[in-house]
Amino acid sequence: MKTFALSVLVAMVAVLFLVSITVAAPAEIKLSGAHYNLNIIGFSKCTKATTDPDCFKGNAGDIETSGHTIFVPLKTAQAVDICGDESTAPGPDDDVSLWVAWLEKGVRILVSDAGGTDIKVIDRDATDGTARFNLPDGCYEVFARAGGKPGGCMDIDTIICYEVVDDVPVQVDCSPSLDNDRYVLVGHLDVDRIKGVKPSWENATDNLLPVATGVGSGEPGYFDFFWQIFNDNLRLLQLRIYKVACP
């Protein structure tokens, strides 16, 4: 959680990342060294025998896991095909009501540095709308790989948030209540589990931790931001997070 504000929304839009990758490319990256594993699991019980997307009722923390797991619905509520290369997000000048409606069709991971000095899952249940992940400020590389049986895709959009103060947009912490004045897309990751293609690691750092998030920027702390998730039957997304030296 950052303690000072940044302004000028246009400047942030200038660094907008709309890069998309397919996490099933044939080229293979060999990973080694100390890292943090985060597994984002599409939970099938959220789409069977219930119409309530919050199948855990906010109690996913009661499920016994290693603590490196976040649960999302196996299929979120989007009405459009998310398996293409581009984000489905509204435009930067669209009304905030369109953004909120779009956000509510998916689920979110709130990324924050307010939970201490360790990388850890604070709330693993995103089926109620928002999970929480603590990432201490610093420099990282993030690698992504699809898992589970073939078929399915997932989009993760990196979103930063603003309040309007005296007609000036000022960056602030994203609110789990979705009551910020403005939202800006700064990164997009498209993950596909393709039949007949062996899953391989891809560097997703620029998609999930772009410069606009402020993570590792050299300033103390950063503003809480969202990884907005739309899932279409992808059962597992694996993330490996490596702490690296800052430039």
Q: What is the pLDDT of residue 26?
A: 44
Label residue 39 by pLDDT band (50, 70, 90): very high
Label residue 98 by pLDDT band (50, 70, 90): very high
User: Residue 41 corresponds to which tokens in the numbers above?
Assistant: 């699991």
Every domain of the chain and the residues it spans: 9-243
208 or 233, greater pLDDT: 208
pLDDT above 70 covers a percentage of the chain that reads 77
Instruction: Please write the tens of the pLDDT for every residue from 202-216.
Output: 999 999 999 999 999
Cβ burial 24-59 (10 Å sphere, 16+ → b, else e): bbeeeeeeeeebbebbbbbbeebbeeeeebbbbeee
Taken in order 220, 96, 210, 148, is the CA torsion positive or negative?
A: positive
Give the mean model confidence (pLDDT) for residues 104-113: 95
Q: What is the pLDDT of residue 127?
A: 85
CA distance 147 to 67: 18
Give the mean model confidence (pLDDT) for residues 71-83: 85
Q: What is the pLDDT of residue 9?
A: 41
Q: What is the pLDDT of residue 150?
A: 82
Q: What is the pLDDT of residue 178?
A: 96
Cβ burial 224-244 (10 Å sphere, 16+ → b, else e): bbbbbbbbbbbbbbbbbbbbe
* Pick from 40-54, 72-86, 156-170, 231-245: least confident: 40-54
Whole-structure pTM value = 0.81
Q: What is the pLDDT of residue 207?
A: 96
